[in-house]
Structures are given as C-alpha cells and as structure tokens.
Amino acid sequence: MKSMESQRCFRCGNDLRPGSLKYVVHIRVYADFDGLLSISDEDIEGAMDRILEAVESRDPSDLEREVYQEIGFYLCKGCRDRFVRDTTTIGAPGDSGVMVH
C-alpha cells in the first residue's frame, strides 16, 4: 500500500488524504488441517493418485490461492467501525463469532 498518495476507503470510496485518519485491514486466509483424513487407510494410495492427477491439470496460482491468500485495504473510521462490528457479531446470540487460532 502506498503511504504518501491519497487513498480511498475500500468500502465507501471516500478519499483518505495523507495525514487523515484511516485504518489498514490485513486479512490472511489459509487452509486449515485438523489432522484427520476422510479416507480409509486401504484407499490412501488411490486417493493420493487422484489428488495428484487433479493438481497436475490446475494452474499453480489458483492452487496457491486456495491454500493461502492475503488481502489488504484501507477503511475510513465509519467503515472500520462497521467492519469490526459486523465481523465480530457473527454466530449465535451472545457468541462473538471470533475464532482465535
């Protein structure tokens, strides 16, 4: 992200001039593995062969984005407040919806 040029709020598009209050949102999205495979021990080799065959025909960049992706953008104060409120109130009543890994 450029620091001395005017930026725009990702959500509302308002101009965020140098020196003005703005917030950086940096999101890392990555695949999680809980250690369990949903295939039987007898079929592990067959499953690996099918996975490798499927992977060979895919674009490496697409595969990488499915495993790990970083997203960054600026928000103004109002959009920051809404973003934080909306992303921390997901789930059941009384549940913050926030998972700390």
Kindly report the CA angle at 41 between 39 and 43, in degrees rounded to 5? 65
Using only C-alpha atoms, the chain has a radius of gyration, in whole angstroms, of 20
**HSE of 40, CA atoms in CB hemisphere, 13 A:** 2
Task: Please report which helix (H) or strand (E) contains residue 29, including its range.
Answer: strand 23-30
Residues counted in the chain: 101
How do the domains of the chain map onto residue ranges?
7-88
Residue 47 CB coordination number (10 Å): 13
Q: Global pTM?
A: 0.66
Residue 2 above 90 pLDDT?
Answer: no
pLDDT, tens digit, 9 for 90 and up, residues 53-85: 989 989 999 989 899 999 999 999 999 999 999
